[in-house]
Amino acid sequence: MAKRMPDNLRTKRKYLLWLRQAKGFSEATVDKAAASVDRYLAHLRGSGLRQFHSEKALGFKRHLDKQRHPRTGAALARSTVNGTLQDTKAFSKRPAGQNCYLSRIRYTESA
């Protein structure tokens, strides 16, 4: 089981609150983003977001390409993979603008 990182959970909670309040997204959109971020954090296996590296992002993309749909057993649809990657990209870009993460996550690496 993946180790829970309080900093990761705190960052995720702030991001989801920002989506609801500042961006005005609906609950369904926020839930979809939360599921994508959960999938990304599970892939990190307890590694902190502060130790971000572009190879981890590429590894996540490869991981999604290997995943199977739980009900049908078929490969994930390209739209599902693309949506998950877009949500994860937006999540990665959000902390890049915050002071505590500026030295660790570069905006160009999260793009």
Per-residue pLDDT of the chain in tens (111 residues, 90 and over written 9)? 445 678 888 888 999 999 999 899 999 999 999 999 999 988 888 777 777 677 888 889 999 999 998 899 999 999 999 999 999 888 888 764 555 554 555 555 555
- E strands, 42-85, in order: none
Q: Does pTM top 0.85 for this prediction?
A: no
Kindly state whether residue 1 falls inside one of the protein's structural domains.
no
Residue 19 near residue 74 (C-beta atoms within 8 A): no
Tokens 């390209």 belong to residue: 78
Inside any domain, residue 25: yes
- Overall number of domains in the chain: 1
Place of tokens 């998950």: 84
- Phi then psi for residue 65, to 5 deg, are -65, -25
- CA 111 to CA 106: how far, in whole Å? 9
Expressed as residue numbers, the domain containing 10 is 6-110
